[in-house]
Structure 1
């Protein structure tokens, strides 16, 4: 979407601000609507599907929330999550603007603004929206992969490039990140999409079951073999074979798997005849890549076979604003499942979610929200409706403490200082030995 095709809503209780922005933007965009009363936001967005909303952070006490801008931001996000929101704030409210970014705003503008900065900010947001829309139009899948964060955009780009090929793919990521969804999307966007997609959790197979499940068997091959049975390789012939938890198979199983991949044929148990197979192989594991590189635990020749390309699925704690979109998706899903009326979110609801580490990733978020929908009596989900499972134990802090990655070290230093100073950006920047502007750039970089 280019600037001249955009529809923009400006909300501010200062008539001079509205006039200035209307005069600036009117020659450049398709339409500009101005509104003094934020209580009319819902009526305005119901009449017009705005591409961008420019929202002031402070009004004259129209709602008693402690901060009107955050309240109205959440109202917009509840009604039109796809609409980009730019916050306007004075210098003194910069901390609130940073909080607004965490709540889902696309960017913020300082008052007094520079006209070039306003146009640049809107243009950048529109170009980013267009890029994401184009990217997703080229991805078709029977499963819904939700994500607009930068780290997920990287996944989408790689997925789009790799899916049409027959390259073997290794999907890496923590438990609960959605590796199986990536595998399915790879198949659905490949030339084999009309052929079988067969999934096997190889990490759960014993040595005997490993061979019979993957390679099949002939009648009489063992005591309970009462008839011939195709293995998963043969069942996936022409399509895609997805081997989940590949990092948990033994060295002996690795040898048998490597032989099949090299020869592209399987020999069922109880048979001397080999059967040719044509499959596209996708594997997944939550094992750290450094473990896979240890030849005492995993054969390098097998790694080369299964890892033509790797796709790393990021943990939920690194996906920033995706938490908001995923939450809306799951809440809507469970509201329908349990015959509940549609829910809206209290401003603190998403904030509490974003402060949680989510060691169980998307799967944990899903279960937390299902419980909240079941247990809540009203139609507004509040922070107290969120109960995080004591079963999940976050390994994030211990992992990051030993990480030598510079980005990890910097991110954790920022988190530690911000927590110590209760979110005060000025104090945190001073303690870190950097300027406020430098800290803001890092907050944006790490989506904190």
Structure 2
């Protein structure tokens, strides 16, 4: 759950306050509104992540318990980690009761900037917030990375395993159908790793040579590597200072073993994470629907459509062959059109022959280009391609 306050101008600082106590939320809203500071209110972790992805948040005030009777702070610590994966430099002030000092200290170890005790002193809280904002500056509307939503037990277990191995140097294979979120999970592992630099991401299908530098390599479509590059990659991984490889594939482990050389598969078999298709995760469909509807309403400046139990049931009844990517596009269209109806492409698919792989790729490329008004850089980023790779596909399909 979440609320937004848009009364102030775009130049005002923006705070996100996460606390399940509505009275405390009202008190905070009144306190900061008087000082011309915009405040967003979230009452649980899911709402907080959606607001963080949808709005240019400058600072977070974070309570650590959101379920009635909870005292351990585990919910807030998990949310803090998710927030810092989304934005590593995000300043977070933990707000806790007198009995929660040890939890606040643990939050500081996790990455929180500072903590405030409840009940707070208004002047001291405002002074601390102002000081942190002056030090860290404004977000200036920079887009956050897409959020990895974890509602189903299946995804929670996968994310938990990814978090456990993230600080290691182990190679990781992430497999699953197209559009399930393999790249999001790879980026999460990189963000929680010991590597300070950004990961080098490349597609095996468009790869003529391997990166020269080490660090973290995220290789999409690993099965498309040529035999020569497979041997080179194995040699690099066997070397004295190997890169950390996070390999992505739509093939399962057995099918991948038929495409790649055994020595390379030894490295890829170290840690294997399999993301199931969206149709097998109805809880995630409901959570993603709530997230995308708010995200796109904020992005396009349009009202957020009502989403009731019947809408959720209809979404869960769909097959979603392109998984989260397809659900995302469908819900963006709901926001833009202001009504619940199937997209033209989905309606056509129900009455025509199944699309070929070539047709599907062409549709994805064309849809991304149209969403970004044929801005190749932005479309390539959404599709996870380099600009040259997207240009090749545009030429291939006459776009």
Instruction: Report the TM-score when normalising by structure 1.
Output: 0.47
Alignment partners' CA distance in 2, 1:339 and 1:349: 22
Q: Provide the residue aligned with 2:365 in structure 1.
A: none
Task: Name the structure 1 match of 2:176.
Answer: 173
8 Å contact from structure 2 (residues 200, 218) kept in 1: yes
Q: 1:312-327 to 2 correspondence within 5 Å?
A: 312-327=274-289
1:203 aligned residue: 205
1:233 alignment partner, one of 175, 191, 212: 212
Q: Secondary structure at the match of 2:151?
A: coil
Q: Partners in 2 of 1:126 and 1:359 — Cα distance?
A: 40
Distance 2:175 2:231 in 1: 21
SS of the residue corresponding to residue 282 of structure 2 reads coil
Aligned to 2:151: 148
Shift in CA distance, 136/304, structure 1 to aligned 2, threshold 3 Å? farther
Residues in 2 aligned to 1:125 and 1:359: alpha-carbon distance in whole angstroms: 38
* Matches of 1:137 and 1:184, distance apart in 2: 17
Say whether residues 1:357 and 2:333 are aligned partners. no
Higher Cα radius of gyration: 1
Aligned pair count reads 238
Q: Distance in 2 between matches of 1:386 and 1:330?
A: 16
| Aligned counterparts of 2:271 and 2:192: Cα–Cα separation in 1 | 16
Aligned counterpart in structure 2 of residue 261 of structure 1, from 220, 225, 237: 237
Give structure 1 regions of 4+ aligned residues with deviation exceeding 6 angstroms.
79-83, 124-127
Deviation, structure 1 residue 337: 2.0
The Cα of 1:385 is off from its aligned counterpart by 5.6
Report 1:39-54 matches (<5 A).
Answer: none
Q: Could you tell me how far 1:203 is from its partner in structure 2?
A: 2.0
1:130 CA drift (Å): 6.9
Matches of 1:249 and 1:328, distance apart in 2 = 38
- C-alpha distance in structure 1 between counterparts of 2:260 and 2:243, whole Å: 22
Task: Calculate the aligned-residue CA RMSD, in Å.
Answer: 3.4
Q: Residue 387 and residue 355 in structure 1: after superposition, are their counterparts in 2 closer, same or farther (change >3 A)? A: farther
Structure 2: tracts of 5 or more residues without a match? 1-20, 26-41, 47-66, 87-144, 357-399
| Structure 1 residues 130 and 293: CA distance shift in structure 2, 3 A | farther
Mapped to 2, the partners of 1:388 and 1:344 lie a distance apart of: 23
Matches within 5 A, 1:72-87: none
Query: Following TM superposition, by how much is the alpha carbon of 1:283 offset from its aligned partner in structure 2, in angstroms?
Result: 0.8
Alignment of 1:289 with 2:289, yes or no, is no
C-alpha separation in 2, matches of 1:364 and 1:172: 18
2:300 to 338, 355, 363: 338
